[in-house]
Structure 1
Amino acid sequence: MTTSTPQRPGQSERDPLGADPDRLPPAGVHSLWRLRSYLRPHRGALAVMLGTALAGIVVAIAIPLVIKALIDGPITDGEIDPVLPLGLAVLALGVLEAFLTWWRRWVQSNAVLNVETVMRGDLYAHLQALPMSFHSRWQSGQLLSRATTDLSSIRRFFGFGMLFLLINILQVTAVTGVLLTMYWPLGLVVAFTAAPIVWLSMRFEKEYVLVSRKVQDEQGDLATRAEEAAVAIRVIKSFGRSGYISEQYETAARQLHATSMEKVRLSARFWTFLEVIPNCAVVVVLLFGAIGVGRGALTPGELVAFITLMLSLVWPVSSLGVILAMAQEAMTSAARILEIFDTESEIVSGSRVITEPRGHLRFEHVDFAFPDAPDEPVLRDLSLDIRPGETVAVVGATGSGKTALTALVPRLYDVTGGSVTIDGVDLRDLELVHLRQLVATAFEDPTLFSMSARENLTLGRADATDAEIEEALDVAQAGFARDLPWGLDTRIGEQGMALSGGQRQRLALARAVLARPAVLVLDDTLSALDVHTEALVEEALRRVLADTTGLIVAHRASTVLLADRVALLQGGTITHVGTHRELLVTVPAYRELLAADPSLEEALS
Structure 2
Amino acid sequence: MPSEHPVQAPSIAAPSNRTTPRRSQNLWRLRPYLRPHKWRLVTMFTTAILGVGVSLTVPLVTRAIIDGPVTRREIDLLLPLGLLALGLSISEVLLVWVRRWAQSRTVSDLEANLRNDLYIRLQALPMEFHSRWQSGQLLSRVTADLSTIRRFMGFGLLFLVINILQLVVVTFLLLRLYWPLGVVVLVAAAPIIIVSLKFEKKYLAISRRVQDQQGDLATRIEESAVGFRVIKAFGRREHVKKQFDDGAVKLYETSVDKVRLASRFWTFLEVIPNLTLVIVLLLGALAVGRHSITLGTLVAFITLMLSLIWPVESLGTILAMAQEAMTSADRISEILDTESTITDGPDELVDPRGHLVFENVSFRFGPDSADVLHDINLDLAPGTTLALVGATGSGKTTLTSLVPRLYDVTGGRITIDGHDVRDLTLKSLRSAVASAFDDPTLFSMSARENITLGRPDATDAEVQQALEIAQATFANELPWGLETRVGEQGMSLSGGQRQRLALARAVLARPAVLVLDDTLSALDVHTEALVEEALRNVLAATTGIVVAHRASTVMLADQVALLEGGTITHVGTHQELLATVPAYRTLLAAEEEEVHA
TM-score (norm 1): 0.94
Q: Give the SS at the match of 1:42.
A: helix
Whole-angstrom distance in 2 between the partners of 1:394 and 1:374: 28
Residues 390 and 564 in structure 2, CA contact (< 8 A), matched pair in contact too? yes
1:166 maps to 2:161: yes
2:217 pairs with 218, 222, 229, which one? 222
1:27 maps to 2:30: no
Residues 445 and 485 in structure 2, CA contact (< 8 A), matched pair in contact too? yes
Q: Give the SS at the match of 2:132.
A: coil
- 2:297 counterpart residue number: 302
Q: Give the letter aligned to residue 10 of structure 1.
A: S
Residues 13 and 338 in structure 2, CA contact (< 8 A), matched pair in contact too? no
2:561 pairs with 544, 562, 567, which one? 567
1:414 maps to 2:408: yes
- 1:485 counterpart residue number: 479
Residues 361 and 421 in structure 1, CA contact (< 8 A), matched pair in contact too? yes
- 1:513 counterpart residue number: 507
1:460 pairs with 438, 454, 464, which one? 454
Whole-angstrom distance in 2 between the partners of 1:361 and 1:501: 31
TM-score (norm 2): 0.95
> Structure 1, residues 280-318: CA drift from partner, whole Å, max 9, x if none?
111111111111111111211111111111100100111
- 2:439 counterpart residue number: 445
Residue 87 of structure 1: how far off its partner (Å)? 3.2
2:492 pairs with 488, 491, 498, which one? 498
Q: Give the SS at the match of 1:414.
A: coil
- 2:205 counterpart residue number: 210
Residue 375 of structure 1: how far off its partner (Å)? 2.5
Residue 84 of structure 1: how far off its partner (Å)? 4.5
- Describe the shift of the 1:332–1:129 C-alpha distance in structure 2 as closer, same or farther (beyond 3 A): same
- 1:3 counterpart residue number: none
**RMSD of Structure 2 on Structure 1 (CA):** 1.8
- 1:196 counterpart residue number: 191
- 1:136 counterpart residue number: 131
Structure 1 residues 147-162: aligned runs within 5 Å: 147-162=142-157
2:111 pairs with 116, 126, 130, which one? 116
| Unaligned stretches of 5+ residues in structure 1 | 1-5, 12-17
Residues 367 and 415 in structure 1, CA contact (< 8 A), matched pair in contact too? yes
> Structure 1, residues 480-501: CA drift from partner, whole Å, max 9, x if none?
1111111111111110010110
Q: Give the SS at the match of 1:394.
A: strand
- 2:517 counterpart residue number: 523
> Structure 1, residues 536-588: CA drift from partner, whole Å, max 9, x if none?
11111111111100000010111111111111111111111111111111111
1:47 maps to 2:42: yes
Q: Give the SS at the match of 1:458.
A: helix
Q: Give the letter aligned to residue 167 of structure 1.
A: I
Q: Give the letter aligned to residue 394 of structure 1.
A: L
Q: Give the letter aligned to residue 316 of structure 1.
A: P
Residue 233 of structure 1: how far off its partner (Å)? 0.7
Residues 594 and 600 in structure 1, CA contact (< 8 A), matched pair in contact too? no
- Describe the shift of the 1:409–1:221 C-alpha distance in structure 2 as closer, same or farther (beyond 3 A): same
Residues 27 and 209 in structure 1, CA contact (< 8 A), matched pair in contact too? no
- 1:275 counterpart residue number: 270
1:341 maps to 2:336: yes
- 2:4 counterpart residue number: none
Number of aligned positions between the proteins: 585
- Describe the shift of the 1:306–1:597 C-alpha distance in structure 2 as closer, same or farther (beyond 3 A): closer
| Unaligned stretches of 5+ residues in structure 2 | 1-11
1:66 maps to 2:70: no
- 1:385 counterpart residue number: 379
Residue 601 of structure 1: how far off its partner (Å)? 13
Q: Give the letter aligned to residue 417 of structure 2.
A: D
Whole-angstrom distance in 1 between the partners of 2:372 and 2:145: 37
Residue 10 of structure 1: how far off its partner (Å)? 2.2
- 2:313 counterpart residue number: 318
Moved more, 32-41 or 536-545: 32-41
- 2:8 counterpart residue number: none
Whole-angstrom distance in 2 between the partners of 1:384 and 1:289: 93
- 2:427 counterpart residue number: 433
1:10 maps to 2:16: yes
- 2:279 counterpart residue number: 284
Whole-angstrom distance in 2 between the partners of 1:243 and 1:83: 76
1:253 maps to 2:240: no
Moved more, 187-196 or 58-67: 187-196
- 1:234 counterpart residue number: 229
Q: Give the SS at the match of 1:362.
A: strand
1:177 maps to 2:183: no
